[in-house]
Structure 1
């Protein structure tokens, strides 16, 4: 099913756009409003690496643009840990009408937001009361807050249980590492996590595949499936029926070569 995002014509008459934004700012803002990761509620997950790839920019340029939009234009919020983007004025033009399909979609997408504080800014600009109430109900739901704290504790435990970084693990188990490979590992640690990168290396060792290309193939597959933590990887493998299991992770990787 095709997905569309509406850009209101008033965008081009907005004083902030006319007087404060450079041509590059306008291009970047249009991208933030209409890229494939956008959602109905205005909060979506996207990495700096993905933004750089889509726009043909360096990750440094993306970081600079994000800083301008967060601190100078004050139009977005970005959580570096969860890689979630929030478009502050999204609701003004995209959440002004409500029906059951819209409300159902809003509920579903709200439940997937990891950093609930990102929703607070958006709530102030939602003209439709029904949708605004759904935001408020989710943000101030104590059970949801409790669940989020539990997830944060799980992540902290993962970090405590793994006090060796991916570069050191590679050196100890695969051999000499080049500066380029150090950089590549760092990018994957940012997109996923050091624990997931190390897990991919362990999978490669288990299959006696001592190449970075094999490790990266595993990471690309997990990234495409939006598996960001060890728990995500294990849960996904258990859900697969008649396919990959934790005991046979190589079956979908070997097909790539």
Structure 2
């Protein structure tokens, strides 16, 4: 296990990171740099250790873990106490045989095989050397009962087909009702569907709730921000809107003014580094 983890300086200006609360930034940074982290980005860490090292209580730790699961940034298994940082291997892979042998050794110790399977799919997409990384590792799908057990309660509860069909029907009616209203939430729902995938009933309810406080164009901007930074989680959109709400940016005029001020501020900071003879 290495005694340090490399974090790029651009981390703090990443679009996703910039929209997080200070508490979330600190927690995400902790997940990537704590002593239990590994080369593969999958590690076992008891909640008591997280509490002791971050200073957060159990309730806050649970809240933050669930939040980053919803953001699509980590996977968490309560049963095995394992965390997988989803994109870790994409940004920290080193094309070294020793590194790949280390990853192979780590993967053999992972208890949650769903994590190993997910890691395999990422390696396939990134065209990493599978013969070295997965040598001697059996990949298989867990049974439904095992998946439910390994999810540790963070997986969405199963619904029977009747309930799912009812939800879809409610969604279709809500979407169709507003579809032709360019000033209503119909446009927002259509843009959500186009960019994030079909909205669930919970997503529609969220959009409707935010529409009570925000201009619809501001909600659209939050969706486009998620697309810009390739965040495919609706939780990321809600996080952006909550942040803008805390700043009072509920209209497009206020949002535009805020962005202009921020742009000028960044420009001034850049000018400060120019060499002057």
The TM-score with structure 1 as length reference comes to 0.50
Larger RCO (CA under 8 A, 6+ residues apart) = 2
